[in-house]
């Protein structure tokens, strides 16, 4: 009886291993067929795209996308540096510089015309006559130049 059980057990194990081997081969065949079909489909589509010329456009788009990505990274870096610069900016110093420039400019504008002309000549600025046209007087600050505008130390 013991020999029968031992031989029956070996027979069952042999049958199970053969069935497992059959299942493994069947699964492998199905996977092989699926991979072959996918490869043929991809090959057909890539050949079609290459013949039409779309493959070159896709490659150019990829190169452009990479260039845009590099430019956006550079922009982010520049923006980060700009924000760091704003964070390290001393508002009190700018305010005092602006206030000093504004006071000097108002003193200069309220000075007599002869002193203003001498100052312009000493600074090497061109001599321009102020017209009586109200439109041109509105922009007289701009005509004198950047050095005489208020807050010129920070621009």
What is the 3-class SS of 54-108, one letter each residue?
A: HHHHHHHHHHHHHHHHHHHHHHHHHHHHHHHHHHCCCHHHHHHHHHHHHHHHHHH
Position 106 scores a pLDDT of: 75
Query: Would you give per-residue pLDDT tens digits along the chain (155 residues)?
Result: 778 888 899 999 999 999 999 999 999 999 999 999 999 999 999 888 888 888 788 888 888 888 889 988 888 888 888 888 777 776 666 667 677 777 777 776 676 666 666 666 666 665 555 555 545 444 444 444 444 444 444 44
Full residue range of the structural domain in which residue 135 is found: 91-148
Q: Is residue 71 part of a domain?
A: no
Q: Is residue 4 part of a domain?
A: no
Q: Is residue 107 part of a domain?
A: yes
| pTM: predicted TM-score of the whole model, two decimal places | 0.35
Residue that has been written with the tokens 């007289």 in this structure:
140
Q: Is residue 155 part of a domain?
A: no
Q: Is residue 104 part of a domain?
A: yes
Q: Is residue 113 part of a domain?
A: yes
Tally of domains in the chain: 1
Q: Is residue 129 part of a domain?
A: yes
Q: Is residue 33 part of a domain?
A: no
Give Cα separations from 114 to 89, 109, 142, 145 (angstroms).
39, 11, 20, 18
């Amino acid at each position: 009886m013991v020999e029968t059980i031992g031989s029956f057990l070996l027979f069952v194990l042999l049958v199970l291993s053969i069935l497992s081997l059959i299942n493994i081969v069947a699964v492998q065949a199905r996977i092989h067929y699926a991979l072959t079909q996918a490869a043929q489909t991809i090959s057909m589509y890539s050949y079609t795209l290459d013949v039409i010329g779309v493959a070159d456009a896709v490659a150019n788009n990829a190169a452009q996308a990479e260039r845009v990505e590099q430019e956006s990274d550079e922009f982010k870096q520049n923006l980060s540096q700009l924000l760091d610069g704003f964070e390290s900016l001393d508002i009190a110093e700018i305010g005092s510089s602006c206030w000093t420039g504004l006071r000097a400019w108002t003193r200069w504008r309220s000075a007599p015309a002869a002193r203003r002309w001498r100052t312009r000549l000493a600074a090497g600025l061109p001599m321009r006559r102020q017209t009586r046209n109200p439109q041109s007087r509105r922009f007289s600050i701009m005509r004198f130049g950047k050095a005489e505008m208020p807050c010129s130390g920070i621009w």
